[in-house]
Amino acid sequence: MERTLVILKPCTVQRGLIGEIISRFEKKGLVLVGMKMTWLTDELLSEHYAHLKEKSFFQRVKDAMRTCPVIVCCWEGIDAVEAVRTLAGKTNGRNAAPGTIRGDYSMSVQENIVHASDSLETAKVELSRFFDPSELYEYTPSNIWSLYANDEI
């Protein structure tokens, strides 16, 4: 099983879409193993978006992420990193495919509803950045054999 980080961005909190977006991941069959509301700091965001630090929009993107608290969550499943990225859709909501979260809920590059880890390696680093190990739970959902065949897990 893989674990991946999703952040419901301030635009999602402000638009009252928290429940709807969480529901998309739940309905897919991903298992929620950690979730909390937190107000991000510029320092943490500088680490999180370090790959963008040379871009002209670096500060703008960081500032947008701390206009209000966000929801950080950890989702678990087989190939969860790729499954979540596929659900999220392309970065730019305007050309993200319909059926994806960004395609269905966003008209913006910046205000694009969710952050999702882009590789297993990144997911591990990001989960340890946003969660204490004690905030992530180990459990088997009771519907596990309706989610997967026994040779998949």
Interface with ligand UDP, residue 118, by CB under 6 A: yes
**Which entry of Mg ion, ligand UDP, none binds 95, CB below 5 to 8 A by partner kind?**
none
Piece of 26-34, 63-71, 79-87, 118-126 that binds Mg ion (CB under 5 A): 118-126
Q: Per CB under 6 A, which of residues 34..73 are in contact with ligand UDP?
A: 52, 57, 61
Output the residue with the shortest Cβ distance to Mg ion. Answer: 118
Distance in angstroms (rounded) separating the CA atoms of residues 99 and 96: 9
Tokens of 137: 């739970």
Residue type, 113: I
Of 54-62, 81-89, 114-122, 133-141, which part binds Mg ion (CB under 5 A)?
114-122
The secondary structure element, H or E, covering residue 115 is strand 114-116
Whether residue 119 contacts residue 101, with contact meaning beta carbons closer than 8 Å, is answered with: no
Beta bridge partners of 138: none
* 48 belongs to the catalytic site: no
For position 112 contacting ligand UDP by CB under 6 A, the verdict is yes
Question: Considering beta carbons, is residue 3 or 48 the nearer one to ligand UDP?
Answer: 48
Residue 35 DSSP SS3: strand
DSSP states along 62-111: HHHTTSS-EEEEEEEETTHHHHHHHHH--SSTTTSPBTBHHHHH-S-SSS
CB-nearer residue toward Mg ion: 7 or 33: 7
Using CB under 6 A as the binding criterion, the count of chain residues that bind ligand UDP stands at: 9
Interaction site with Mg ion (CB under 5 A): 118
Residues annotated as catalytic are 115
Interaction site with ligand UDP (CB under 6 A): 52, 57, 61, 91, 109-110, 112, 115, 118
